[in-house]
Amino acid sequence: MAGVAARATARAEQQLELRLKWLMFGRLAVAVVGILVALLSRPRDAASVPPYYVLLAACLFNLAYLVAARAGVRLRILAIVQIVLDVVLVGALVYISGIDRLFAIFFFANVIAAAMVLGFRMAVAMASLASILLAIISTVYFLAGHPDYELRLPFVDPELIGTHFSGLRFLLPFLFFFALALHLVALLSGRLTAEVHRVRILNDEILENMAGGVLAADHFGGIQFINSQAARLLGIRDPEGARGRQADAVLPRALAELVQRSLRGEDRVQQEVRLNGSLLGVAISRLLEAGGGPLRGVVVILNDQSLRMQMEEMTRRAERFKVLLEMSAGMAHEIRNPLASIRGAAQELGTSTFAKDEDRQLLQVVIRESDRLDNIISEFLEYASDRPLERGLLDLSELLRETIAVLEARLDRQVEIFREISGPFLVAGEADKLKQVFLNLGLNAIEACSRDVKPGRIVVRCFPSRGPGSQAREGILVEVADDGCGVSGGDLPRVFDPFFTTKPQGTGMGLAIARKIVLAHGGEISMESLPGKGATVRVWLPSS
C-alpha cells in the first residue's frame, strides 16, 4: 500500500509540474503578444506608463519562476505565488490602461488557471482577490474623476480619468455583476476541473491496480502510459521516465516489433512472447477516432502466462501423484496379505516340536520384522488416505492434558514433563487426529531425551498467537520443547519428509503424518533445533 501511495503522490507532482509548465508557456505567449500590440497601438504623446512595462515584468517573473523550480522550490508554493502575482499584474494592467479596456477580461483567465492548477478553493480565492482589486481600481478612478475629490492617480494618463463611469448608479452594478461573473466562472471551472481530476484518478487507479500489464502508445509510437505491472513484466525501472519516448527505445525488441505491426495496420495482434524469463501473453488493439477515423494509438495488454503454466504443471503432477498414490496404496494392501501369511507361518513353525532353538530365534526375527513392515505399511496407508476430517469444536488445552497423561505413563525416571497450559482454547478439528499429532511429538521428545545420560526435560506450552504470513489470523500455538540430542542442521529441513528418520528403528512417517494432519486443519508446523541442545516443535492452529 505504501508503494501505491508513493506512486500516486509522484504522479500528482508530475501532473502539477506539467500544468505549471503550460501556465508559464501561456503567460509568456500572452505577454509577448501584448507587448507587440501595446507598442503598435500606443500613442506617442500618451502620459501614462506603457502597459508593456507590466507585460515585460510578467516575462521577468516567468524567468524567476523557472529558476525557482530548478532550485527545488515546492511546486504547490510556486504555483500559489504565480497565480497570485498574475492577478496582481492584471490589476496593474487594468489600473494603467483604464478600466474600460479589455485587460479586465484577463481576470477570468486567472480564475480558470487557478482552478486548473490548484483546484476550486484557489479559484474562488482568486475570484475574490480580483473582485477586490477591481473594486479598489474602480473606486480610485471614480474619486479621481469626481469634481469634489479630483484624486491624482500616479502612472495614469489624465485623459483616461473621468471617461469611465458617470456615477455610482453605474459603478456599483458593474462591480457587483463583474464579481458575480468571476465567482460563477470559479465555481464552474472548479467543478469541471475536479470532475476531470476525479475521472482521471479513477482511470489511473483502475489501470494501475489491474492484474495485467497495460501500456498505451500514440500513432507515432511514443509511450503515453505504462502501469507498474507492465513495468515489472518488461523490466522497466522508471515507468514515468518512459513516457514520451519511442517504443523502440523503451520496450524489448520482440514487443516493439509487435507494436509496430499494429501501428502499420494489423487490426489485432495476439501472441505469446518470452521476455525476461517469463512467458507473456500479448494482446494489442488499435484505437481509432469515432466513426473509423484516423489512428489515435494502440493499447497493449500483457498477461504473465508463467503462473498459468506452473498451475497446469502442478495439476499434471498432482494427477500423476494421485495415480501413483492409488497404485502404492493398492500394492501396500497386496503386500499385507502375504506378509500376514508369512508371520502366521513363522509363528506355527516356532511352536513346532521339531524346531531347534536357533530356528526359533530366526523365526522371532521374521515375526518382529514382519510386524515392523506391517507398521510401516499401516502408517503409509494412513499418510496416503484422503479421508475428510470429522471436525468438531474442542478444547485444545484439555486435549493436551489428556495427551500428557498418556505420555507420563511411558516416562522413565530420567525424563520429566512440565506443562504451561491455561485455556480453554477452542479450535475446530478432529480430536483423535490432533491427539495423534501431539502424542507423536511427545514420544519423539521422550526418545530424544532418553538418548542422553543427563536427566531430560520436556516443556509443553499452549497460548494464543497470530498465525504466520501477512494475512495473519488469530489462533493457538502449541510448543513441545525438549533438551535432548537435537537434530543436525543438514537433517532439519527434511524432518517432515516421508520415510526420513534419524532413529535406528524409526519408520520416518510420524512427523510426515503429523504435518499432513496439521495442514488439513489449516495450521502450520515447524521445528527449530541445535545439535546437543534439544529441539522445539511449534504447531499453530486457527481459532474456532
DSSP collapsed to 3 states, 381-431: HHHHCCCCCCCEEEEHHHHHHHHHHHHHCCCCCCEEEEEEECCCCEEEECH
Q: What is the pLDDT of residues 265-300, one digit of tens each?
A: 877 788 888 877 778 888 888 888 766 678 888 888
Longest dimension (CA), the chain: 152
Examine the domain organization and report whether 217 and 235 are in the same domain. yes
pLDDT of residue 543: 85
Axis crossing angle, helix 2-41 with helix 75-97, rounded to the nearest 10: 20
Give the range of the structural domain holding residue 298, as residue numbers without chain letter: 211-304
Cα–Cα distance for residue pair 532/535, rounded to 1 Å: 9
The verdict on whether omega for the bond into residue 294 sits within 30 degrees of 0, i.e. cis, is no
Question: Is 252 exposed, middle or buried, given 0-12, 13-18 or 19+ CB atoms closer than 10 A?
Answer: middle
The better pLDDT of the pair 393, 101 is held by: 393
Cα–Cα distance for residue pair 531/48, rounded to 1 Å: 97
Axis crossing angle, helix 106-118 with helix 120-145, rounded to the nearest 10: 160
Beta bridge partners of 280: 273, 304
Q: Which three cell numbers stand for residue 419?
A: 506443562
Percent residues over pLDDT 70 in the chain: 81
Cα–Cα distance for residue pair 446/442, rounded to 1 Å: 6
Cα–Cα distance for residue pair 222/229, rounded to 1 Å: 19
Examine the domain organization and report whether 175 and 159 are in the same domain. yes
Mean pLDDT of 325-340: 70
Mean pLDDT of 84-109: 81
Mean pLDDT of 504-530: 83
Question: Has residue 325 got a pLDDT over 60?
Answer: yes
pLDDT of residue 101: 55
Mean pLDDT of 18-28: 82
Mean pLDDT of 487-512: 77
pLDDT of residue 184: 92
pLDDT of residue 460: 92
pLDDT of residue 124: 92
Strand ordering across the sheet containing 534-542: 415-421, 456-466, 474-482, 534-542, 524-530
Is 298 in a helix, a strand, or coil?
A: strand
The better pLDDT of the pair 123, 375 is held by: 123
Find out whether 193 and 115 touch, Cβ atoms under 8 Å: yes
Kind and range of the H or E run holding 149:
none
Question: Has residue 475 got a pLDDT over 70?
Answer: yes
Look at the chain and report how many structural domains it folds into: 4
pTM value? Answer: 0.46
Q: What is the pLDDT of residues 98-107, one digit of tens each?
A: 755 567 888 8
216 φ/ψ angles, rounded to the nearest 5 degrees: -130, 145
The pLDDT confidence band at residue 1, using thresholds 50, 70 and 90, is: very low
How many CB atoms neighbour CB 499 within 10 A?
Answer: 13
Examine the domain organization and report whether 83 and 142 are in the same domain. yes
Which parts of 45-151 fold into alpha helices (H)? Answer: 51-70, 75-97, 106-118, 120-145
Find out whether 523 and 540 touch, Cβ atoms under 8 Å: yes
The pLDDT confidence band at residue 128, using thresholds 50, 70 and 90, is: very high
- Determine the residue type at 260: Q
Q: How far apart, in Å, are the Cα atoms of 283 and each of 224, 272, 280?
A: 17, 9, 10
pLDDT of residue 130: 92
Beta bridge partners of 132: none
Examine the domain organization and report whether 507 and 483 are in the same domain. yes
426 φ/ψ angles, rounded to the nearest 5 degrees: -90, 130
Q: What is the DSSP string of 464-483?
A: EEEPSSTT--EEEEEEEEE-
pLDDT of residue 47: 44
Task: Please name the residues in contact with 378: beta carbons below 8 A apart, sequence gap of 6 or more.
Answer: none
Q: Let me know how many helices (H) and strands (E) the chain has, helices first.
A: 15, 12
Supply the CATH number for residue 525's domain: 3.30.565.10
Kind and range of the H or E run holding 458:
strand 456-466
- Determine the residue type at 107: F
pLDDT of residue 45: 46
Question: Has residue 447 got a pLDDT over 80?
Answer: yes
Mean pLDDT of 442-452: 81
Kind and range of the H or E run holding 521:
none
Question: Has residue 349 got a pLDDT over 50?
Answer: yes
Q: For the chain, what is the mean pLDDT?
A: 79
Examine the domain organization and report whether 321 and 299 are in the same domain. no
Three state DSSP letters for 421-443: ECCCCEEEECHHHHHHHHHHHHH
The pLDDT confidence band at residue 2, using thresholds 50, 70 and 90, is: very low
67 φ/ψ angles, rounded to the nearest 5 degrees: -65, -40
Cα–Cα distance for residue pair 463/540, rounded to 1 Å: 10
Examine the domain organization and report whether 149 and 223 are in the same domain. no
Domain boundary among 154, 173, 207: 207
pLDDT of residue 386: 66
Q: How far apart, in Å, are the Cα atoms of 57 and each of 50, 54, 89, 136, 370?
A: 12, 5, 8, 22, 104
Examine the domain organization and report whether 67 and 202 are in the same domain. yes
Examine the domain organization and report whether 531 and 459 are in the same domain. yes
Domain boundary among 332, 359, 384: 384
Beta bridge partners of 274: 279
Cα–Cα distance for residue pair 476/324, rounded to 1 Å: 35
Examine the domain organization and report whether 27 and 135 are in the same domain. yes
Q: What is the pLDDT of residues 406-429, one digit of tens each?
A: 888 877 667 888 988 887 889 888
Domain boundary among 143, 172, 207: 207
Examine the domain organization and report whether 325 and 401 are in the same domain. no
Q: Report the chain's C-alpha Rg in angstroms.
A: 42
Examine the domain organization and report whether 458 and 503 are in the same domain. yes
Examine the domain organization and report whether 193 and 254 are in the same domain. no
What distance lies between CA 57 and its chain's CA centroid? 48
The 8-class DSSP code of residue 328 comes to H
